[in-house]
Structure 1
Amino acid sequence: MWIIAGLVLLLLILHQDNWFWTDDTLVFGFMPIGLFWHACISIGATLTWALATVIAWPIHESDLRQVPSKESDTEEARS
């Protein structure tokens, strides 16, 4: 759980990209470095959220309920 909190804090700090505001460098020949930086932050946020769902909300087999299929519902209704 502390890993997720640390990653979120790191993303919040890295999101403040004052160092790229005046940089006119283009990445891949067309994308400003500031926009590329924010795209990378977005990818990092996506990966952090995916990791958080695996760590913070694990699914255990004992927690899963068996959902009856439609066929078994109709068979029980006929009986």
Structure 2
Amino acid sequence: MKLPALISIIVFVILFVLHQDFWNWGNTTLVFGFLPIGLAYHAGFSITAAIFWFLVSKFAWPHAIEKWADEPND
């Protein structure tokens, strides 16, 4: 397994654990005076996940498999 794929898997597991955010369940803090902390956390998490998947598709995409799939069949 190549290093970008391994790093992607490790970051995916970390994001999976962070997505549960059980530490915010009872927190009634408001961000900017109107946004519940859990919602603000998930907004930031969603942006982080989108950036992560962009980077995965950029650096860990299996180009060899895609190239093989595009070859004509004989």
* Global fold match (TM > 0.5): yes
RMSD: 1.6
In the TM superposition, 1:2-17 aligns within 5 A as 2-17=6-21
Q: Which amino acid aligns with 1:8?
A: F
Query: 1:43 corresponds to which residue?
Result: 47
Query: 2:58 corresponds to which residue?
Result: 54
Q: Distance in 2 between matches of 1:10 and 1:54?
A: 20
Aligned-residue sequence identity (percent) comes to: 47
Unaligned runs of 5+ in 2: 68-74
When normalised by structure 2's length, the TM-score is 0.72
Deviation of the 1:57 alpha carbon: 2.4
When normalised by structure 1's length, the TM-score is 0.68
Unaligned runs of 5+ in 1: 64-79
Q: Distance in 2 between matches of 1:16 and 1:41?
A: 11
